[in-house]
Amino acid sequence: MTFFTQLGLSGSPDKSPDSKPQGKIAPKEFPNPKVPNANQRTAVLVGSAIATLLFAVFFLESGCSKESGKTTTTAIPDQVVSQPSRVASVSTAIAPLATQPPTKAKSRQRKLSTSTYTNAIYGVSFRYPKYDNLQEGDKANLELGGLGPVEMNFVQPGGITISAVELPHKLYTGTNLDAAFFNVSVNPKLTSEECQQFAFPQTDNPETDPVTVSKSKVGATEARAVEGFADDDSNQADVKYYHVFQNGSCYEFALGLEIADESNADQTKPAVKPVNSNEVFRQLDWILSTVKLQPVVTQEKTAPEVASDTPAAPTSTAH
């Protein structure tokens, strides 16, 4: 009956159902499928929200997976072959590492191995390289090749050479150096004024052409210094003398070298180059800079005292 009511027809039996109605006929009211009802709208909204959420989650996971893929590819180069789309980015990240120059290891400065000479009797000590040759006592009286023994430069006799150091020849192979030395002498018979003087070099007129004596340092102690030269037909020598007065004695430190005269060199021997004298004296000066002079305690010998309780020797009496 609802269907007929919606068509505007009555249920009169006088009229056939097939007859056409008279007058205006109300339009059919069918449900519009394009207009969603309330439940459908709610479902659509919920579905859209869920789809948006899923899309966002998928987008984030995709982005993270790409970032992690890039990191893995950079850390493990073996994966570059399986992922050709990332080869460009990987090669760009690795290329700077290949162009960086290798870091050089820091060079460590080699320390000089030294020994220390100490003479407790005269209170003198110094350091010298271990490869040098140290002599003491009578062996310390050095002799140069063609110039004879190394002379002490005291103005009065009474000096004694206590030690000497010779530089090894292997340090100056291929040069005209014959010898280089550092020796120490002591003269306990000189005064402080005499210790500041030198026996040579001598001049023809000391008043007009005096010997040049300069002030210098031996270790931390003030000293007087003079330089002398000697030569003959085949050799030349250059010696520097330093005098220091301490402990009631005059200390002398001699630094010198001897070289062969090139004009008299043997033509059959291979040519040699001139030695760098400044370099030789630099090594000798280093030994001089390490010199230390310590006070010397002189112990006086006294006659033994006789104990007071020692019985006196018996005396004989004449009967």
Predicted pLDDT at 59:
62
DSSP character string of 234-272: SEEEEEEEEEEEETTEEEEEEEEEEEE-GGG--TTSPP-
Predicted pLDDT at 296:
87
Q: What angle do CA 110, 111, 113 make, to 5 degrees?
A: 125
Domain 114-293 falls under CATH 3.40.1000.10: yes
Rg (CA), the chain: 56
Predicted pLDDT at 120:
94
Predicted pLDDT at 210:
73
Cβ-contact 150, 241 below 8 angstroms: no
Per-residue pLDDT in tens (0 to 9) along the chain, 319 residues: 444 444 444 444 444 445 444 445 455 554 555 555 666 667 767 777 787 777 776 666 665 555 555 544 444 444 444 454 454 444 444 455 556 666 666 656 556 689 999 999 999 999 999 988 999 988 999 887 767 889 999 999 999 999 999 999 888 889 999 999 999 999 999 999 999 999 998 766 767 677 789 999 998 899 999 999 888 878 899 999 999 999 999 999 999 999 987 665 555 556 789 999 999 999 999 999 999 999 987 655 445 444 444 444 444 444 4
Predicted pLDDT at 47:
74
Predicted pLDDT at 17:
46
Predicted pLDDT at 260:
86
Burial track 231-259 (b if 16+ CB lie within 10 A, e otherwise): eeeebbbbbbbbbbbbbebbbbbbbbbbb
**Residue in the block written with tokens 């570059």:** 80
Q: How far is CA 37 from the centre of its chain?
A: 88
Element (H, E) at 293: strand 292-293
Burial track 86-123 (b if 16+ CB lie within 10 A, e otherwise): beeebeeeeeeeeeeeeeeeeeeeeeeeeeebebeebb
Q: Which pair of structure tokens corresponds to residue 199?
A: 């026996």
Question: Under DSSP, is residue 4 helix (H, G, I), strand (E, B) or coil?
Answer: helix
Domain edges within the chain: 1-11+26-79, 114-293
HSE-up (13 A, CA, CB side) for residue 296: 18
Comparing CA positions, the residue from 157, 153, 111, 145 lying closest to residue 130 is: 111
Question: Under DSSP, is residue 118 helix (H, G, I), strand (E, B) or coil?
Answer: strand
